[in-house]
Amino acid sequence: MEYNQLQDYVLEFSLDNCPRGNQGYNRVLLQLFGFTGHGKSALINSLLYVLQAGKYKIHAKSGMTPSGGAVTMERRAYEITPTITVVDNRGLVRMTDYEMRMIYAQLGNFVPLNKKVEWRGNYEEFMSQLEDSELDPNYTDFIVPVFIYKVLYTLPEQEKSQMKAFFKNCRDLTGVFPIVVLTYKTSGNYFEVEKMFKCLGAEVVVAVENYSEEDQTQTQGRNTDFLSLLKYALDDVRFRMVHPRNPKEERIQRKKFLHIYSHNTYMEEKSKKERFMARKRMEDRKRFFARKREEAIRKREARRREEESREREEARRRTEEAKRRAEEARAIEEARRRAEEARAIEEARRRAEEAMRREEESRRAEEAREGEEARRREQARRREAASRRAEEVRERERVRMRAEEHRRKTEGSCFIQ
């Protein structure tokens, strides 16, 4: 089909033109679901950009919040043609039972549009919400599930079986097998991802590259991918509308499916919890007896260690007593040896002092004798000196008397003359 024909096919599609007419349906509801951040909102913006003339606009906000949560927290409906409406549902995070329960509730059109979607973990709360949907039931939407998956994302092995069961449940719930849309097709090997989803049972896999504010340049190839996605969905609708359908009966069947699925998951959770509690009680019992055994072992071990400690203490005490006695004997012997050495030293000192005393007395006696001798010599020297001086005095006196005598004689002689 040529590009213009493909575009006209999508824009002019009407449920009234189906083989049996609209059979009570007035619009096709493309239910987008998938993991958070895989491009559901960006796909809606791209579809509107392709089908509506004008500049690129952000109709559905996409991305993640700074805290890591999803921007889309409610079911938002966007009309792309008079017949086709796309719904941006709240995304998956961990594929837990209560998350899947709410995904099926959105997919089955039991959650109001344009209102915040709360994950109902409690079974009673979920069933109450399901019953509240009957206050304003919607029978006129032909639901086509569309699963969005980012090519760059690697699906863990343990989630592949969950995904396969998920697709089957979507088919059982809506009567239509989900169309798989691979986003970011140029960022990875989408052929491998397409092969994986084919193995999981997908009948139609379409790869697209969403437009964005940074990448608004339209190409025929990219536009064709988006139009082909819509054509696959509308072809499936036309195929289903060949057979007689009853919108109210189908809604009742969807509700029954949700009741059965919710009850089964609730009972499974309850059974898991009971098994968990039984295992926990058994483990608590095992731990109790294990503690008792450990306590008995610890007590025996404590008694054994205490006995060993007493024996070691007794051996240590005996060893210390022997050491003490040996030390006392060594101390006594050492004291005796030191006393003997002290006596010997004292005796040697006494003898040395006696010898020194005698030597000192002898030296002093010798010094006294020498002093006395020196004194005597000094006295003799002094007597000799005194005698010499006296002799000198007498000699001077004789000289003086002779001189006096000579002077008198001289004077007498002069007088006579």
pLDDT in tens, the chain (417 residues): 788 999 999 999 999 999 899 999 999 999 999 888 898 999 999 999 999 878 888 988 865 444 444 445 778 999 999 999 999 988 787 777 767 888 888 888 888 787 776 656 666 666 766 676 676 778 899 999 999 999 988 888 888 888 898 889 889 988 899 999 999 988 888 899 999 999 988 899 999 999 998 988 999 999 999 999 999 999 999 999 999 999 999 888 988 888 888 788 778 778 888 888 888 889 888 888 888 888 999 899 999 999 999 999 999 999 999 999 999 999 999 999 999 999 999 999 999 999 999 988 888 888 889 888 888 888 888 888 888 888 888 888 888 898 888 888 887 776 665
The reported pLDDT for the residue numbered 142 is: 94
In this structure, what are the phi and psi dihedrals at residue 32, rounded to the nearest 5 degrees? -85, 130
Q: Nearest to residue 180, comparing CAs of 224, 234, 229, 219?
A: 229
Burial (0-12, 13-18, 19+ Cβ within 10 Å), 268: exposed
C-alpha dihedral over 404, 409, 414, 416, to 10 degrees? 140
pLDDT at 271: 84
Tokens 């095992």, located at residue: 286
Between the two ends of the chain, the Cα-to-Cα distance in Å is: 207
pLDDT at 120: 60
pLDDT value of residue 122: 66
In the chain, what are the domains?
Answer: 3-245 (3.40.50.300)
Structure tokens at 230: 């819509």
**Predicted TM-score of the model (pTM):** 0.65
Tell the residue number behind the tokens 């966007």, with chain if given.
78
Please answer whether residues 173 and 199 qualify as being in contact, where contact means their C-beta atoms are separated by less than 8 angstroms. Answer: no
3-state secondary structure the chain: CCHHHHHHHHHHCCHHHCCCCCCCCCEEEEEEEEECCCCHHHHHHHHHHHHCCCCCCCCCCCCECCCCCECCCECEEEECCCCEEEEECCCECCCCHHHHHHHHHHHCCCCCCCCECCCCCCHHHHHHHHHHHHHCCCCCEEEEEEEEEECCCCCCHHHHHHHHHHHHHHHHHHCCCCEEEEECHHHCCHHHHHHHHHHCCCCCEEECCCCCCCCCCCCHHHHHHHHHHHHHHHHHHHHHCCCCCCHHHHHHHHHHHHHHHHHHHHHHHHHHHHHHHHHHHHHHHHHHHHHHHHHHHHHHHHHHHHHHHHHHHHHHHHHHHHHHHHHHHHHHHHHHHHHHHHHHHHHHHHHHHHHHHHHHHHHHHHHHHHHHHHHHHHHHHHHHHHHHHHHHHHHHHHHHHHHHHHHHHHHHHHHHC
86: nearest Cα among 199, 205, 222, 229: 229
Encoded tokens for 386:
């005194």
